[in-house]
Homo-oligomer: A and B are copies of this chain.
Amino acid sequence: MRKRASTKRTNDPEGMRNRVLDVAARSFQQLGVGRTSMHDIQRKAKVSTGALYRHFPTKKDLTLAVIGERVSAEVADTWIRAIEDAPTAGAGILAVFQSTIDHLEEAGKVSGCPLGNLALELASADEDYRHALTDEYQSWRKALAQRLAREIADGGASYAGSDPEAFATVVVALFSGAMSIAKAEQRPAALRDCLLYLERKIREP
């Protein structure tokens, strides 16, 4: 009862895995996990069912891999490195808001914060998702808080008060929330309002 069709095949597990993760990350970001079917991923990544399920036995496995390998990297690239490379924590924060606004305007549409999207969609679904997502939030806030703490110790960053952790949370919440509103409205106005507010607080505390 089997069909045999012989076309040449090449084994490239690493490339295959990456292709799937890329496609999945992109679709999860734009449509959400629920609206992305495994079949869509197969088609867009040009991967067969067998190959897909060899690397990611369930959709959950794939989703967790996207969170741990792609969303995580995106948070690191967008926020953590930016914060660390900036002259001051405050300058880094403002820079990220500004560059996010620029990107959104270029793109012409707002698909939201990769981490925030998944957090809202998956947090109530499953403990494993929740843990993976809190880990990402933790890294994000920790990177911010550590930089702030250093500056506070050096007598700077007075806008953050004496509690760098709390202020890090405020920044993360502000960004996540503004992104939610921006996504609903499909325009970055909310982000711009928050940037304005932060500029005032950071530059003239």
Contacts and interface: CB of A to CB of B under 8 A. Distances in A.
A133 B170 CA distance: 24
A124 to B, nearest CB: 6
Given A119-B180, A119-B184, A176-B176, A59 B4 contact: yes
A167 interface: yes
Given A120-B117, A165-B193, A194-B169, A2 B35 contact: yes
Interface in A108-142: 111-112, 116-117, 119-121, 123-125, 130, 133-134, 137
B119 A123 contact: no
A138 B119 CA distance: 24
Given A117-B120, A121-B32, A193 B169 contact: yes
A163 interface: yes
A100 interface: no
A172 B1 CA distance: 27
If over half of A's interface residues share one DSSP class (helix, strand or loop), that class is named, otherwise mixed; here it is helix
Interface residues of A, number: 57
A111 B35 CA distance: 21
Nearest to A201: B201
Interface of A: 1-4, 6, 30-35, 37, 58-60, 111-112, 116-117, 119-121, 123-125, 130, 133-134, 137, 161, 163, 165-167, 169-170, 172-181, 183-186, 189-190, 193-194, 196-197, 200
